[in-house]
Amino acid sequence: MTSTAAPAQVPRRRSLFGTASLHGGWRSAFWFLLPALVGFVAFYLYPALRGLYISFTDWNLIANQGSWVGTDNYERLFDDRQVWESLKITFKYTVINIASQTILAVIIAVLMDRLTKSVTIRGILLLPWLIPNVIVALLWVWMLDGNLGIVNDFLGLFGMDPVRFFTDTGKVIPSLAGINTWRHMGYTALLIFAGLQTIPRSLYEAAAVDGASERQMFRDITIPLLRPILALVLVITIVGSLQVFDTVFVATGGFGGQPGGPANASRVIYLYIYQNAFDFNQLGYAATISVLLVAILLTVTYLQLKLLRAGESDLA
């Protein structure tokens, strides 16, 4: 190809770009788009449609085929108490994780904004987020170990009894949420920090001249103006949190344990889908649960983006 589209001889044509010379039509664009288009169709579009189809079948990975079963899987979904239990666990995890991580991130971001713009400090804060989930999980499995973990020794300094972080059904979800708070708080703080830079300094200067305290400025300037960015950050982090998998799989699956333990107390929805697909060999049903998860994620995103739009006027 490479034949250039007609140069500036057709200035009358309505153009998005103002000049006709940048037009190429599909003939030029085709080769630029081809690889990405193949990738998109093969690994996004086609599987998404096929996933929908599979959710109506009894697909079996060993035979690698399935037959149409109509809405059987969907009916089963509503009767399957384990799905709703998994969702409950996932929501519990998300609430704990997002609450702790967002609060810490806002504090870190505001302090950084006031104290320092050091790239080194921001780099250190970002480090946990760059490390693979698997490695993060392993580091904390060791530190939180019930017998030899350093954290229990630390708590012992304050006279606390050893905590069974991963083997107590009531503790395992908060433990996992804590691990991912550690991993994500710096990243989230940097996102919020970037948002803080969009707030005009003059507002703080003016408020300070008027004798406002730090707390008042935080409440009356920072929070309202940060709201749209906070909403965006929450969309990203909540959608991510609802899809937690790696950490749960590694942290609860070690040492002969069954991932999702103890007693399925940490079986989040992603893990339940995984188990259905690969442990129970019910890919059709696993796909059905995925459809439910997609619906939940889209709803959450939609609601939050509405919230975001509601907040936009504040920045005007």
Partner 1 sequence: MTASAPGPAEVNAARASDEIADHAPSAARPQPSARLRKPRLGRAAAWTFMAAILVISVFPFWWALRTGLSTNGDLFAGEQSLLPVGYTDNNFERVLGTASEAEILESLGRENTGSFDFLQSLQVSVIVSTAVTIGQVAFSAMAAYAFARMRFRGRDKLFFLFLSGLMIPPIFTLIPNLILVKNLGWLNSYLGIIAPFFLMTPFAVFFLRQFFLGISREVEEAALLDGAGHFRTFFGIIVPMSAAPLATLSILTYITAWNEFLWPLVVARDPARQPLTVALGQFTAQQPGTSPDWSGLMAGTLLAALPIIVIFLAFGRKVVDSIGFSGIK
Which residues ranging from 84 to 123 are in contact with partner 1 (CB under 8 A)? 104, 107-108, 111-112, 114-119, 121-123
Q: Does 77 bind partner 1 (CB under 8 A)?
A: no
Which span (67-75, 84-92, 125-133, 158-166) binds partner 1, by CB under 8 A? Answer: 125-133
State the DSSP string of 29-49: HHHHHHHHHHHHIIIIIHHHH
10 Å CB burial of residue 93 (0-12, 13-18, 19+) is buried
Whole-number minimum distance, CB 149 to partner 1, in Å?
A: 9
Of positions 99, 103, 124, 303, contacts partner 1 by CB under 8 A:
124
**Footprint (CB under 8 A) of partner 1, residues 157-196:** 182, 185-187, 190-191, 193-195
Whole-number minimum distance, CB 175 to partner 1, in Å?
A: 14
**Footprint (CB under 8 A) of partner 1, residues 264-293:** 270, 273-274, 277-278, 283, 286-287, 290-291, 293
Whole-number minimum distance, CB 269 to partner 1, in Å?
A: 9
Question: C-alpha distances in angstroms, 151 versus 128, 185, 253?
Answer: 18, 19, 20
Q: Does 10 bind partner 1 (CB under 8 A)?
A: no
Question: C-alpha distances in angstroms, 283 versus 42, 192, 269?
Answer: 19, 40, 15
185: number of CA atoms within 13 Å, CB side? 18
Look at the chain and count its residues: 316
49-66 burial, b at 16+ Cβ within 10 Å, e below that, comes to: eebeebbbbbbeeeeeeb
Residue 134 sits at φ, ψ, to 5 deg, of: -60, -45
Helices and strands (H, E) in the chain, number of each type: 14, 0
Which span (50-58, 71-79, 82-90, 94-102) binds partner 1, by CB under 8 A? Answer: 50-58
**Footprint (CB under 8 A) of partner 1, residues 212-231:** 214, 217, 229
Nearer to partner 1, 99 or 295 (CB): 295
Whole-number minimum distance, CB 168 to partner 1, in Å?
A: 16
Residue 194, both tokens: 């970037």
Which span (74-82, 86-94, 95-103, 252-260) binds partner 1, by CB under 8 A? Answer: 252-260
Q: Does 12 bind partner 1 (CB under 8 A)?
A: no
Nearer to partner 1, 96 or 125 (CB): 125
Residue count, binding to partner 1 (CB under 8 A)? 127
Nearer to partner 1, 16 or 316 (CB): 16
Which span (2-10, 79-87, 92-100, 158-166) binds partner 1, by CB under 8 A? Answer: 2-10
Nearer to partner 1, 98 or 286 (CB): 286
Q: 3-class DSSP state for residue 234?
A: helix
Of positions 10, 135, 303, 305, contacts partner 1 by CB under 8 A:
135
Whole-number minimum distance, CB 88 to partner 1, in Å?
A: 18
Asked whether the CA dihedral 251, 252, 258, 259 is positive or negative, the reply is negative
Rounded to an integer, what distance in angstroms lies between the CA atom of residue 150 and that of residue 140?
10
Q: 3-class DSSP state for residue 12?
A: coil
